[in-house]
A = this chain, B = another copy of it.
Amino acid sequence: MTPRKSHVELYKKHHKHFIAIDCIIFGFDEGELKLLLIKRNFEPAKGQWSLMGGFLDENESLDEAGYRILYNLTGLKDIYMSQLHSHGEVNRDPGARVISISYFALINIQNHDEELVKENDAHWRPISKIPPLIFDHRHMVDLALEQLRKEAKIKPVGFELLPSKFTLPQLQSLYEAIYSKTLDKRNFRKNILSMGMLEKLDEKEKENSKKGAFYYRFNEDKYKELTARGFYFNIAI
């Protein structure tokens, strides 16, 4: 007899609940922070906009469910993702009592599987133009944005939203999008370069200017080494 069965009677008297996972998926493109949203072609709330979600299965952890749902929509694995909050208002979902656990993910918008996204009727929407969302999904989005703004200051999470090679103007533009604020070029560069975790490449990006801007790469190992020495990532905003 497994230990799992030994006390099952003690739990039996309690209620069980549906548990959903909803994903707030951020991307960055054309100088704007964007969210991947679903135009629902299924019930409930068919025809309305919502976050990508799904139900927690019997034999998967919460994190596994989050990654599964993200993978099913984007074809991406090994993505920066973290749990945000659990939402348990009794009537948050008019279809049934469902507890939802929100996750937020940062992805490089170039990498996702466009076919899968199309199949799911998912669309990138700039955060300045988010359509009305079902249930409490808008609240989840607001929490996620708040969290992103907290984290981007003190952890190198911004790089998750960019290609592995990026230019400093791109990086600055990303931070400006996250904080809806223009930043001083000289101060921004001084700040980020002084941390010593960016590698300058020999190559230039020439799409956006005649002069061209040097590519940089985030050096994960360097960052870990610095962290181990008591260093803290910090961008002045």
> Which residues from chain A sit less than 8 Å from chain B, CB to CB?
3-4, 6-8, 10-11, 14-19, 43-44, 55-63, 65, 83, 85-90, 94-99, 101
Q: Whose C-beta in chain B lies nearest to the C-beta of A15?
A: B58
New A-B pairs, 4, CB < 8 Å, besides A7-B44, A8-B96, A88-B101: A3-B95, A15-B58, A16-B19, A58-B97
Asked whether B99 lies within 8 Å of A43 as measured between CB atoms, the reply is no
Q: Whose C-beta in chain B lies nearest to the C-beta of A58?
A: B15
Pick from B16, B43, B57, B83: contact of A18, CB under 8 Å? B16
Quote the shortest CB–CB distance from A104 to chain B (angstroms).
Answer: 14
Give bound CA distance, A90 to B57, whole Å: 10
A11 proximity list for chain B (CB < 8 A): 18, 55, 95-96, 98
Give bound CA distance, A97 to B19, whole Å: 13
Copies in the complex: 2
Asked whether B10 lies within 8 Å of A44 as measured between CB atoms, the reply is yes
Give bound CA distance, A87 to B14, whole Å: 18
Q: Whose C-beta in chain B lies nearest to the C-beta of A99?
A: B19
Taking A4-B94, A95-B3 as contacts, is the C-beta distance between A15 and B89 under 8 angstroms?
Answer: no
Give bound CA distance, A80 to B14, whole Å: 27
Give bound CA distance, A86 to B85, whole Å: 8
Asked whether B96 lies within 8 Å of A7 as measured between CB atoms, the reply is yes
Q: Whose C-beta in chain B lies nearest to the C-beta of A45?
A: B7
Asked whether B59 lies within 8 Å of A90 as measured between CB atoms, the reply is yes
Asked whether B90 lies within 8 Å of A61 as measured between CB atoms, the reply is yes
Asked whether A19 lies within 8 Å of B18 as measured between CB atoms, the reply is no
Pick from B14, B44, B62, B98: contact of A99, CB under 8 Å? B62
Asked whether B61 lies within 8 Å of A8 as measured between CB atoms, the reply is no
A3 proximity list for chain B (CB < 8 A): 94-95
Quote the shortest CB–CB distance from A47 to chain B (angstroms).
Answer: 14
Taking A15-B55, A16-B17, A17-B17 as contacts, is the C-beta distance between A8 and B88 under 8 angstroms?
Answer: no
